[in-house]
C-alpha cells in the first residue's frame, strides 16, 4: 500500500512547487490536501452527462468441460429478449420487463442488486406457451400485447447518484419507444424488477413527461416518504437519497398525485409519534395498515383504494417486504406481521377488475441471498409480476391528451 502511494506523493509535491496550486481533473479551487491533489481528487461531475445506457442481456453463462460456450438465454418466463433502449426496436413490443441491479440505497441488508436475475430464476416455471390462468381465463403473454424481457440497465456500483441517473436515462430511452399495438395502447409500459426501492425515483422521473403526476399505490411495510433530514440525518445530498426517502423526494419534485397516493400493508416503526405521519400526509399519502386487512377483508381494501384513486393514472410499486417474512424471507428490511401472497395477489386482481389505469410498476427489495432452498421469495415475485401483467393486459391505457 505504501509503495503504491509513494509515487503519488512525489507527483503531487513536485507539481505544487513547480506551478503553484495544481488543478487536476477539474478540481475545485480551495484548500489543498492530499486527496485534492491526488488522482483521487474530486471531479466536477456534470451528473447529466453520465455515460450512454448499457443493457446487460439476461444470459445464463456456462461453459462445458471442453471450454465451449454453453450460455443460454435466461429471460423472465422464457420471453424473447429485446434491447428496449434501441430505436430500431421501436414498435416491436407493448410491455417490457426490465431489471435494475442497484442496491446502493439500502439501510440494512444489502444484495438487492441481484434481484432481477433472482426473479428470472423464480420465473423459469412460467412460459408463454403455458401461460393460461385459471383465475383470469386469459394467457397474458398471448393477448393483444407483445411482452418482452428488456434485460437490465447497467448502473454504477460505486456512485449512487450517477447510478440513479443511468437508470433514469435507460428508462427514458425505453419509454420513448412506440408500442407495437398502438391501436390498443399508445405507450409502452414497463414492469421493473429491483433493485432496492430507491429505483422508484428514477422511474417516476422518467415516466413523468408521458403521464404527468401519477397516484402511487405503494405496497410496503414501510412508509418510504421519510424526510431526508429524519432518515439519513440530512448530512449530505448523497445520504438523503435512499430507499426510505424516495417518495418524499418524488413528492417534492411534483411527480406524485396531490392526494391519491396510498401505502398498503404498512406496519413499520416510526421515529416519533407525529412527525413521520404528518410528513407522510403532506406528501399526499393515506394508508391501510397490514392489520386492518383482517377487519376489512380484501374486497373492502380494494374498494377503499378505488375510491381514493378514482380515474387517476396509477403507478404500482411493490416492496416485497409487504408480504410476511413467512412468504418472502429474502428481503433487506424485514417486518413481521405482513400479508400473505394470496391476499396480495387478490388485492391486485381486484384493482385490475376495477379498471384502475396502471401505467407502470416495479417489484423491489428482493435480495436472493436470503432466499431459501425452495426459492419461496423468487417464485412469489414471479407470480406477482404475472398478476401485474394480467392487470396491464386487462386495462390498456391511453396517454393524456397534451394541451
Ligand atoms: Mn420500500
Q: How far, in Å, is the centroid of ligand 1 from the Cα of 271?
A: 16
pLDDT in tens, 201-213: 999 999 999 999 9
C-alpha 220 – ligand 1 centre gap (Å): 5
Distance 8 CA to ligand 1 centre (A): 43
Phi, psi of 374 (to 5 degrees): -85, 0
Give the Cα separation of 165 and 163 in Å (integer).
5
CA of 321 to the centre of ligand 1 (A): 7
Domains and CATH numbers, the chain: 2-44 (no CATH), 53-394 (3.40.800.10)
In angstroms, the CA 99 to CA 123 distance is 13
The model's confidence at residue 148, banded by pLDDT at 50, 70 and 90, is: very high
List the shell of residues around ion ligand 1, using CB closer than 5 Å: 197, 220, 224, 319
Q: How far is the CA of 186 from the centre of ligand 1 (A)?
A: 30
Q: Using one digit for the tens of pLDDT, what is the confidence trace for 306-348?
A: 999 999 999 999 999 999 999 999 999 999 999 999 999 999 9
Cβ count near 144 (within 10 Å)? 13
Cβ distance 113 to 101 under 8 Å?
yes
Mean pLDDT of the chain: 90
How many A from CA of 243 to the centre of ligand 1?
6
CA of 227 to the centre of ligand 1 (A): 14
Q: pTM of the predicted model, to two decimals?
A: 0.88
**What does the pLDDT read at residue 44?**
61
Higher pLDDT, 311 or 1: 311
Query: What percentage of the chain reaches a pLDDT higher than 70?
Result: 88
DSSP state of 368: G
* Distance of CA 90 from the midpoint of ligand 1 (Å): 32
**pLDDT > 50? residue 21:** no
DSSP SS3 for 102: coil
Q: How far is the CA of 329 from the centre of ligand 1 (A)?
A: 15
Cβ-count burial of 32 within 10 angstroms (0-12 exposed, 13-18 middle, 19+ buried)? middle
> What tens digit of pLDDT does each residue of 91-143 get?
999 999 999 999 999 999 999 999 999 999 999 999 999 999 999 999 999 99
Distance 238 CA to ligand 1 centre (A): 18
Averaged pLDDT for residues 365-370: 98
Does 84 have pLDDT greater than 70?
yes
Task: Give residue 133 CA to ligand 1 midpoint distance, Å.
Answer: 29
Say how many Å lie between the CA of residue 218 and the centre of ligand 1: 8
Query: How many residues comprise the chain?
Result: 403
Q: Which three cell numbers stand for residue 114?
A: 441481484
Could you tell me the distance, in angstroms and rounded to a whole number, from the CA of residue 119 to the centre of ligand 1? 17
Closest CA to 124 of 81, 192, 77, 80: 77
User: What does the angle CA 179 – CA 183 – CA 188 come to, to the nearest 5 degrees?
Assistant: 20
- Burial class, 156, CB count within 10 angstroms (exposed 0-12 / middle 13-18 / buried 19+): middle
Instruction: Give the pLDDT of residue 59.
Output: 77
Residue 195 CA to ligand 1 center (angstroms) comes to 11
Query: Residue 364 is inside which H or E element, if any?
Result: strand 357-364
pLDDT of residue 34: 57
The rounded Cα 39 to chain-centroid distance in angstroms is 34
Three-state SS letters, 252-289: HCCCECCCCEEEEEECCCCCCCCHHHHHHHHCCEEEEE
Distance CA 378, CA 176 (A): 30
Question: Ligand 1: distance of its center to the CA of 15 in Å?
Answer: 48
Encode pLDDT of 171-218 as tens digits.
999 999 999 999 999 999 999 999 999 999 999 999 999 999 999 999
Angle in degrees, CA 37, 40, 42, rounded to 5? 80
Q: Which residues of 65-100 are buried (b: 16+ CB within 10 A; e: fewer)?
A: eeeeeeeeebbbbbbebbebbeeebeebbbbbbbbb
Q: What end-to-end distance do the CA atoms of the chain give, in Å?
A: 62
**Dihedral sign computed on CA atoms, order 348, 351, 352, 356:** negative
pLDDT at 36: 55
Amino acid at each position: 500500500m505504501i509503495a503504491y502511494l509513494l509515487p503519488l506523493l512525489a507527483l503531487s509535491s513536485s507539481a505544487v512547487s513547480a506551478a503553484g496550486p495544481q488543478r487536476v481533473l477539474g478540481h475545485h479551487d480551495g484548500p489543498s490536501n492530499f486527496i485534492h491533489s491526488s488522482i483521487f481528487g474530486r471531479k466536477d461531475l456534470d451528473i447529466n452527462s453520465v455515460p450512454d445506457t448499457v443493457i446487460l442481456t439476461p444470459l445464463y453463462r456456462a461453459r462445458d468441460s471442453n471450454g465451449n460456450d454453453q450460455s443460454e438465454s435466461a429471460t423472465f418466463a422464457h420471453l424473447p429478449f429485446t434491447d428496449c433502449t434501441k430505436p430500431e426496436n421501436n414498435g416491436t413490443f407493448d410491455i417490457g420487463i426490465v431489471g435494475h441491479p442497484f442496491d446502493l440505497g439500502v439501510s440494512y441488508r444489502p444484495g438487492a442488486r441481484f434481484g432481477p436475475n433472482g426473479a428470472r430464476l423464480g420465473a423459469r416455471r412460467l412460459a408463454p406457451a403455458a401461460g393460461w390462468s385459471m383465475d383470469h381465463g386469459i394467457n397474458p403473454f398471448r393477448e393483444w400485447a407483445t411482452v418482452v424481457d428488456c434485460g437490465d440497465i447497467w448502473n454504477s456500483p460505486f456512485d449512487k447518484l450517477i447510478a440513479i441517473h443511468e437508470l433514469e436515462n435507460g428508462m427514458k430511452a425505453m419509454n420513448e419507444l412506440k408500442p407495437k399495438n398502438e391501436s390498443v395502447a399508445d405507450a409502452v409500459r414497463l414492469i421493473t424488477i429491483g433493485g432496492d426501492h430507491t429505483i422508484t425515483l428514477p422511474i417516476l422521473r422518467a415516466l413523468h413527461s408521458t403521464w404527468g403526476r401519477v397516484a402511487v399505490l405503494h405496497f410496503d411495510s414501510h412508509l418510504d416518504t421519510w424526510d431526508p433530514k429524519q432518515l439519513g440525518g440530512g448530512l449530505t445530498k448523497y445520504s438523503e437519497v435512499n430507499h426510505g426517502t424516495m417518495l418524499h423526494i418524488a413528492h417534492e419534485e411534483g411527480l406524485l398525485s396531490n392526494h391519491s397516493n396510498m401505502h398498503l400493508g404498512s406496519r413499520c416503526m416510526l421515529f416519533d409519534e407525529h412527525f413521520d405521519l404528518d410528513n407522510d400526509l403532506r406528501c399526499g399519502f393515506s394508508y391501510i395498515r397490514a392489520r386492518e386487512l383482517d377487519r376489512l377483508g380484501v374486497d373492502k381494501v380494494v374498494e377503499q383504494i378505488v375510491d381514493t384513486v378514482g380515474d387517476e393514472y396509477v403507478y404500482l410499486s411493490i416492496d416485497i417486504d409487504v408480504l410476511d417474512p413467512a412468504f418472502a424471507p429474502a428481503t433487506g428490511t424485514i417486518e413481521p406481521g405482513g400479508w400473505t401472497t394470496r391476499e396480495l395477489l387478490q388485492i391486485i386482481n381486484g384493482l385490475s377488475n376495477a379498471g384502475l389505469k396502471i401505467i407502470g410498476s416495479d417489484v423491489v427489495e428482493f435480495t436472493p441471498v436470503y432466499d431459501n432452498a425452495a426459492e419461496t421469495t423468487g417464485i412469489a415475485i414471479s407470480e406477482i409480476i404475472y398478476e401485474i401483467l394480467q392487470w396491464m393486459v386487462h386495462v390498456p391505457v391511453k396517454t393524456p391528451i397534451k394541451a
